Structure 1
Amino acid sequence: MIEWVDPVILGLGLVVAVGAFVQSSIGFGIAVVSAPFVVVLRPDLMPTSMLVCAFVLPVLQLASGPREILWRPLGWAVGARLAVTPLGVWLVASTSTDAIALAVGILILVTVIASVVVVDIRLTRGSAMGAGAISGVSGTAASIGGPFFALVLRHEPPDRLRATLAVFFIAGSTMAIGGLALAGAATWDQLLAGATWIPFVVLGHLVAGPVRRRLPATAVRRGVLVFCVVASVGVIGRTLLL
């Protein structure tokens, strides 16, 4: 059971704010940054609490920023994600929190490697559907579904990439939360934790506006990658050693 004044929940809220800042800056990242801390400190809150945040933030992004959206590739990715989401729901319902934690750590490392290694993935129907399918599993089971579609969109202008990803996150989070609820794998504590973190999501999004215009994009991105590597290694180590 969670409490509104629980220091762990509030501390995780600050991490969520950092994740919201990162996503508002580069298009994705709230779950990549926040999920490792949630799985270490409160694994019982995964993945629904993070999915609530992953729904709220893109709504804020679309409400306050450009809405130049690539609808056709988005439709391909969302369709594939919808088809595969039941597999992600099944994984959450049938596996332990330690297994989900390990999956989170591995997915973050894969994300970092894919971000560092120059992989020239072009935007096609196949690549969009492939990214959507992977996200249907990873986004539902571990709340991390954005990096794969982001790689497909990486050659698009930043505003178009962020807006398209935002709609993808809204659709994907809705599918995942709905599927988990139908399977009985989404608890009230998870939903309440996600609702508790909404003000922190808003804070991170608001701070990102003026700050991202002053910080070099390359420096921010490198810092995030280092941060994610440390966090993911910590999660993997904790899962395997305990």
Structure 2
Amino acid sequence: MLYTLPELLAVLIVTCGIALQTVVGIGYGLVAAPLLYLIDPVYVPGPILLVGFGLALMMVIRERRELRWKRVMPAIIARVPGAWCGAALLVAIPQYALSLFFGFSVLSAVLLSLWRLSIPTTPINLTIAGFLSGVTGTATSVGGPPIALVYQQQDRITARSEIAAFLLIGTPVSIIMLIHQGSLDWHTAHLSLKMLPGLFLGFFLARLIDGKLTTTSAKPLLLAVSGASALMVTIKGMIGWLGL
């Protein structure tokens, strides 16, 4: 399989995002989505979601002994209507508006992560987070931050295993909604296939840095990269909006 230079860069970005999420429970979509969007908007949301499903499956298999499916179930159920809303939004707005929505969504996630909210992991909060994750995850492929905010009080192992379980079930729901809306085709599936080396490389890399990298140490870099790239996406949307 031949790769262009932008596709190789995409694999590198996916590798870094996968490694981050495998270690700390979040980071793949938040880091990879805005950067890949700048390379080519077609990467968002389909290819990122398809690769994200593969990551969630690998993480759940690895963390299966730590999982409490009952606790995360309200978020999984709420993801369904959220995903429907996100897919409807994706086909209802023009490209520049999608860029603005995407950029503002990621910037909001970054700001919320900086603002140390104390949100308990209750069924009501999980339901709200699951719905919001469905909307943003389906429309922009960045669905992790809402659910991660609810898991901030949990330890790193519990958080990453239960977030992975949520994404394992929730991501296919978003993919199905995108297929139903005609927003996912064979071209996006082919791009996903080309990104697969990044999935396996990132998962392997995570084994080397697990224990050396924590949520606290990774957070500044994760938020800085995400915030900067989201700002560039927002500017791109504003340029399109103004017709410049």
TM range (shorter): over 0.9
| 1:144 aligned counterpart, secondary structure | coil
The residue number in structure 1 matching 2:174 is: 176
Q: State the AA in 2 paired with 1:156.
A: Q
Check conservation: 2:14, 2:199, Cα contact below 8 A: yes
The residue number in structure 1 matching 2:195 is: 197
Q: State the AA in 2 paired with 1:121.
A: I
Check conservation: 2:152, 2:159, Cα contact below 8 A: yes
2: CA distance, partners of 1:51 / 1:215: 25
- Write out per-residue CA displacement over residues 114-156 of structure 1, whole angstroms, 9 at most, x where no aligned residue: 1111111111111010001101111111111111111111111
Check conservation: 1:81, 1:134, Cα contact below 8 A: yes
| 1:60 aligned counterpart, secondary structure | helix
| 2:203 aligned counterpart, secondary structure | helix
Q: What aligned pairs does 1:25-40 form with structure 2 within 5 A after superposition?
A: 25-40=23-38
Q: State the AA in 2 paired with 1:235.
A: V
TM-score, structure 1 normalization: 0.93
Q: State the AA in 2 paired with 1:51.
A: L
The CA deviation at 1:224 is 1.2
The CA deviation at 1:8 is 1.2
- Residue 164 (str. 1) matches residue 178 (str. 2): no
The CA deviation at 1:217 is 4.6
Q: What aligned pairs does 1:55-204 form with structure 2 within 5 A after superposition?
A: 55-65=53-63, 67-204=65-202
The residue number in structure 2 matching 1:11 is: 9
Among 191, 205, 208, the residue aligned to 1:207: 205
2: CA distance, partners of 1:153 / 1:91: 27
1: CA distance, partners of 2:38 / 2:180: 26
Q: State the AA in 1 paired with 2:162.
A: T
- Write out per-residue CA displacement over residues 52-92 of structure 1, whole angstroms, 9 at most, x where no aligned residue: 11101111212334541232231100111112221111112
Among 224, 229, 232, the residue aligned to 2:230: 232
2: CA distance, partners of 1:27 / 1:216: 10
The residue number in structure 2 matching 1:47 is: 45
- Write out per-residue CA displacement over residues 165-224 of structure 1, whole angstroms, 9 at most, x where no aligned residue: 111111111001111112211121111111211111111111112213224653322111
Check conservation: 1:67, 1:160, Cα contact below 8 A: no
| 1:204 aligned counterpart, secondary structure | helix
Residue 98 and residue 13 in structure 1: after superposition, are their counterparts in 2 closer, same or farther (change >3 A)? farther
Gaps of 5+ in 1: none
2: CA distance, partners of 1:155 / 1:97: 37
- Write out per-residue CA displacement over residues 93-118 of structure 1, whole angstroms, 9 at most, x where no aligned residue: 22233322222221221111111111
| 1:119 aligned counterpart, secondary structure | coil
2: CA distance, partners of 1:171 / 1:62: 11
Check conservation: 1:46, 1:190, Cα contact below 8 A: no
The CA deviation at 1:30 is 0.7
- Corresponding residue pairs, total: 240
| 2:61 aligned counterpart, secondary structure | helix
CA RMSD for the aligned pairs?
1.7
| 2:66 aligned counterpart, secondary structure | coil
